[in-house]
Amino acid sequence: MKYILTLLLLLFINSAQAGGVYQTQESFLAEVFSKDIPKPEVIWPDKTLKKKIAAILGHKYKSLRIRYWKKNNRTAWVLEEIGKDKPITTGFVINNQKIESVRVLIFRESRGWEVRHTFFTEQFDDAILEDDMELSRNINNISGATLSVRAVKKLARLALLLDMHVSVKQGKS
């Protein structure tokens, strides 16, 4: 009985450490824009953009509009995608259509939380979106976190697509 209780306690501790709020959206934006956070802007995706978004995600995006923050050639995006069962909230900074940084802000799953560490997120640095809508860099998987890795990779592609859309709309492609 003592061993069973110990095992259950260890399982509870591991699952409690797995998810959580690692950084708030406000803190992420303050870090990105040195506390001088621009007003949020909004994209209302048209049919063409919706098709591209669905091609990347494998499903429709859940929201009718997508907020972002822009200052000079830098944009910040806070996006969500389902890992296995629950959304992973991730912040992306795009600078001149390249990924500058990635931060996992909120992780709600019981497994795959390793995607929040810099050894994983730094793999995205300087990635661009290729013509085939894939990342220009290979992103290594993490054993036991395949679905979380897949979700963050999709969101990285989405952030680059959205940044490209904003740049084209403003005539800066």
Span 141-156, average pLDDT: 96
Q: How many domains does the chain have?
A: 1
What is residue 168's predicted lDDT score, i.e. its pLDDT? 83
How many angstroms separate the CA atoms of 150 and 57, rounded?
10
- 64-93 pLDDT, tens digit per residue, is 999 999 999 999 999 999 999 999 999 999
What is residue 1's predicted lDDT score, i.e. its pLDDT? 62
How many angstroms separate the CA atoms of 60 and 98, rounded?
24
CB atoms within 10 A of CB 140: 9
Residue 8 has pLDDT above 50, yes or no: no
- 35-46 pLDDT, tens digit per residue, is 899 999 999 999
Domain membership of residue 146 as a residue range: 2-169
SS3 assignment, position 134: coil
Residue 11 has pLDDT above 50, yes or no: no
pTM (predicted TM-score): 0.87
Token pair in block for residue 160? 């680059």
What is residue 2's predicted lDDT score, i.e. its pLDDT? 59
